[in-house]
Structure 1
Amino acid sequence: MKQIKSLTKFSGCSAGILTNQSAFGFEGKYHFEAYSEIVSLKTLFLPEHGLFAELQDQVSGKDLSYLFGDLQIVNLYGDTESSLVPESKILQSLDLIIIDIRDVGSRYYTFLTSAFYMMEAASEIKKNGGKAPIFVIVDSPNPIGTKVEGSPLQVAFESFVGVRTVPHRHGLSPGGLLSYYNLEFHLKLDVAVVPIGVYHPKKFDSFLWVPPSPNIPTQNTCYVYPGQCLLEGTNLSEGRGTTKPFETFGAPYLQGPEKRELDRRLELHQAKSKQIRKLRFLPTFHKFKDQICEGYQLLILDPKKFRSLYFSLFLIKNTKELFPDAFKFLTGVYEFRSDKPAIELLVGDSFLLDYVNGKVSETACLEYLEHQEKQWILKTKDFRY
């Protein structure tokens, strides 16, 4: 694996790594095991869900422990928002931080946000005259390609599930997105990207898919996730507790003539690039545990043409319209934030929130999305490795 061999120039450096089970494959090893044979690996930074994706969403990893010799374990998803950022003294003790973790192509996915928070913290150290580590990004293909969907997240909605300026589906690789952060936010860090193609193929091999988190079981899940993640902010089940999360969705209250009208509208929406399969499902955990839900499976016919975000915005808007008494936006703490409801943090755009609430037409919504997507593609053309 040339990526590992390229680290020989850092032999003897004190290193940390942000990784999980998705960084696997070299000689049948987890990559952090291979790196430890070359650099002086001191610290293992754990993202949300833990090292082996053993934890569900929004579950603290503070009690996780692993026996890897003298390797220090730093949990970046604990009980408090402060746990998301590593302590300065830990970063200053390292010469090198390796980011080797798979992304799924959507801004809500928190792994690269954890990397960004580490980079921000290191940048502050550097600005204050301290020693900041070098960041080495082990790149990998975006599993859903370079297509872009959505609009830049507005600053007012920034959170752990959304970094400002980034659209819902960014179309960048990990190296591209983190390099964008370094330039866009003037972090002025030393960042090296091991480019795509050095080890990883240009495209993911779905037969070699390692789930990066417990509810992304297949590569197909990634195609629907840019839109279906929005259901986390509603009382529609996003399919957690089933074998097809995000592809499966629904609720017990989807009944009667209103359900048949919803069927009709969803079947017509983007009919050439997707199908919906009507079904019933019984979540074993999460929303509506042990309750029969009326719902659907979302089947993608043409990933290049299907707009997951637009579909899910349309789904939420129409469910809200047809089931005004039963449908709800969830309130309470979501990813450490309680000042705004989850749907606002996830949609992240006041114009799109107006669309969901029936204040913007279909035509205006599509035109807005297309314009914002073109702007992002132009803005990030130098980061499309």
Structure 2
Amino acid sequence: MGALTLSRRGAILSGGAALLASPAFSLKPPLLRTGLDRLLSDRADLIRGKRIGLLTHAAGIDRTGARGVDRLAALPGVTLARLFSPEHGLTGAAAAGEAVADGRDAATGLPVQSLYGARRHPDLTGLDALVIDLQDVGLRCFTYAATMADCLKACASAGVEALVLDRPNPLGGLRMEGPLPRPELMSHVAALPVPLRHGLTMGELARLANAALPAPARLTVVAMTGWQRRMGTEVFGAGGLPFARPSPNLRSAGALLAYPATVLLEGTNLSEGRGTPAPFELIGAPWIDAAALAKALNREGLDAVRFVPAAFTPDASKYAGQPCQGVRLERTGLGRYAPLHTGLTLLAVLHRLYPRDFAVTGGKPPFLDLLMGESRVRTMLMAGENPAAMAGPWSYACERFRASAQRWLLY
């Protein structure tokens, strides 16, 4: 897959136009600043004198680790009137899929309106602008982009300005994998017509989603500076940005990299490691032989990853309290990591080794179909097809999408 090649350093996008900063020449890599950092340091004029709402979560922090909620609440000339939260809530403590109730932020006393519960669209009454600051993980099935898209619809309907503060895609912006969702399988885990691993930032997704509206919202994207599409999880820690969990079970950079490969197990009867010290890095079930599974997976010769036998007992979620065997996914740094191909290989090997025990779960449609955005992978998997055949049509679909997505890129 070729690189997405559009570079617009320091862009702030408003109404489709780009306002470009001109950084001084330097031999050092540019300082990586998120949209939040830029808003606070040099673009507060975008919200000064306005009454704003803020959609954010526990990963909505600045370079020092301070909450964006607190920084914006203290900003002179700005009235932060209402908070909104996505899946997992403002504090990031709610479990996956758990309905989150409205509440109040303990530090500021501001009301928090949940957008993952009884409602999906924000109440924008009395607001001049809605600021959106969410850390995505680079996969379509992560629900933050769906919540953002719902908010853009609400802003368009209410005539309220939308400001999206951009953040890095931890999987990078050069590669795409997976199918685009079929219309009949679009849902909150497949809300946008993008590949499963989409290679876009939240700001770029916002531009795409907004342009699809019959009457688009007044959207401004405050772009990052210093981010390049080749960058991945190294932006955290040594890269200058503090790491904060985007969800309760994504606790490290390693988990962010494993997640695209193992999230598909959510649609099966395998534990994806919830309730263990290493969710999404550990996978297994009571009926697995750890050594046999690790040996079979490592024989597949996947680039940049190896599988280590593991034993664990989850204290929550699938198989809580039951001893399980399985594998731990570890990155080797050798070759080019293709997480979705790794995930398909994992499913195929599990089905081959344990045809009587391994099962796809969920209702109609099965959750695996919703995650993938298509049913073809499930039917081919259960028929014993190989991963290359399952992924065959994706390359062409991703190339077509890559060409059409050029107009939305900021970097």
Partner letter of residue 373 of structure 1?
Answer: C
Deviates more, 1:149-158 or 1:301-310: 301-310
Q: Does 1:274 align with 2:310?
A: no
How many correspondences in the alignment? 364
Write out aligned runs for 1:6-155 (5 A): 6-26=43-63, 28-36=65-73, 37-38=75-76, 39-62=78-101, 64-69=103-108, 71-78=110-117, 80=118, 83-86=119-122, 90-123=123-156, 125=157, 131-146=158-173, 147-155=175-183
Q: Which residue of 1 aligns with 2:11?
A: none
Partner letter of residue 378 of structure 1?
Answer: A
Is the 8 Å Cα contact of residues 164 and 221 (structure 2) preserved in structure 1?
A: yes
Q: Deviations over 1:328-378 (max 9, x none)?
A: 22225xxxxxx4221111121133233322264444334322222222221
Which structure ranks higher in relative contact order (CA pairs < 8 Å, sequence separation ≥ 6)? 2
| Structure 1 position 167, deviation (Å) | 1.3
Separation in structure 1 between the aligned mates of residue 333 and residue 180 of structure 2, nearest angstrom = 25
Is the 8 Å Cα contact of residues 161 and 345 (structure 1) preserved in structure 2?
A: yes
Separation in structure 1 between the aligned mates of residue 395 and residue 101 of structure 2, nearest angstrom = 42
Is the 8 Å Cα contact of residues 341 and 387 (structure 2) preserved in structure 1?
A: no
SS of alignment partner, residue 329 of structure 2: strand
Separation in structure 1 between the aligned mates of residue 45 and residue 387 of structure 2, nearest angstrom = 54
**Of 358, 375, 395, the match for 1:327:** 358
Q: What RMSD over aligned residues (CA atoms) do the two structures have, in Å?
A: 2.4
Q: Which residue of 1 aligns with 2:349?
A: 318
Is the 8 Å Cα contact of residues 105 and 222 (structure 1) preserved in structure 2?
A: no
Specify whether residues 282 and 195 from structure 1 end up closer, same or farther in structure 2 by C-alpha distance, changes over 3 A only: same
Note the residue ranges of structure 1 that are not aligned, 5 or more in a row.
126-130, 333-338
Write out aligned runs for 1:331-342 (5 A): 331-332=362-363, 339-342=364-367
Separation in structure 1 between the aligned mates of residue 289 and residue 227 of structure 2, nearest angstrom = 50
Write out aligned runs for 1:361-376 (5 A): 361-376=386-401
Separation in structure 2 between the aligned mates of residue 250 and residue 106 of structure 1, nearest angstrom = 22
| Structure 1 position 304, deviation (Å) | 7.0
Separation in structure 2 between the aligned mates of residue 272 and residue 26 of structure 1, nearest angstrom = 33
Q: Which residue of 2 aligns with 1:2?
A: 38
Specify whether residues 265 and 27 from structure 1 end up closer, same or farther in structure 2 by C-alpha distance, changes over 3 A only: closer
Is the 8 Å Cα contact of residues 153 and 217 (structure 2) preserved in structure 1?
A: no
| Structure 1 position 200, deviation (Å) | 11
| Structure 1 position 198, deviation (Å) | 7.1
SS of alignment partner, residue 45 of structure 1: strand
Is the 8 Å Cα contact of residues 140 and 194 (structure 2) preserved in structure 1?
A: yes
Is the 8 Å Cα contact of residues 269 and 361 (structure 2) preserved in structure 1?
A: yes
**Of 211, 220, 226, the match for 1:192:** 220
Specify whether residues 140 and 69 from structure 1 end up closer, same or farther in structure 2 by C-alpha distance, changes over 3 A only: closer
Q: Deviations over 1:230-269 (max 9, x none)?
A: 111111000001121111101011149xx72x43431122
Partner letter of residue 48 of structure 2?
Answer: S
Separation in structure 1 between the aligned mates of residue 358 and residue 345 of structure 2, nearest angstrom = 14
Deviates more, 1:243-252 or 1:179-188: 179-188
Separation in structure 2 between the aligned mates of residue 304 and residue 205 of structure 1, nearest angstrom = 22
**Of 223, 247, 250, the match for 2:284:** 250
Q: Which residue of 1 aligns with 2:19?
A: none
Q: TM-score, normalised by structure 2?
A: 0.82
Q: Deviations over 1:288-310 (max 9, x none)?
A: 11111110011122387112112
Specify whether residues 20 and 255 from structure 1 end up closer, same or farther in structure 2 by C-alpha distance, changes over 3 A only: same
Q: Percent identity?
A: 27
Deviates more, 1:216-225 or 1:178-187: 178-187
SS of alignment partner, residue 97 of structure 1: strand
Separation in structure 2 between the aligned mates of residue 93 and residue 49 of structure 1, nearest angstrom = 26
Separation in structure 1 between the aligned mates of residue 372 and residue 196 of structure 2, nearest angstrom = 8
Note the residue ranges of structure 2 that are not aligned, 5 or more in a row.
1-36
Q: TM-score, normalised by structure 1?
A: 0.87
Separation in structure 2 between the aligned mates of residue 273 and residue 238 of structure 1, nearest angstrom = 20
SS of alignment partner, residue 311 of structure 2: strand
Deviates more, 1:246-255 or 1:56-65: 56-65
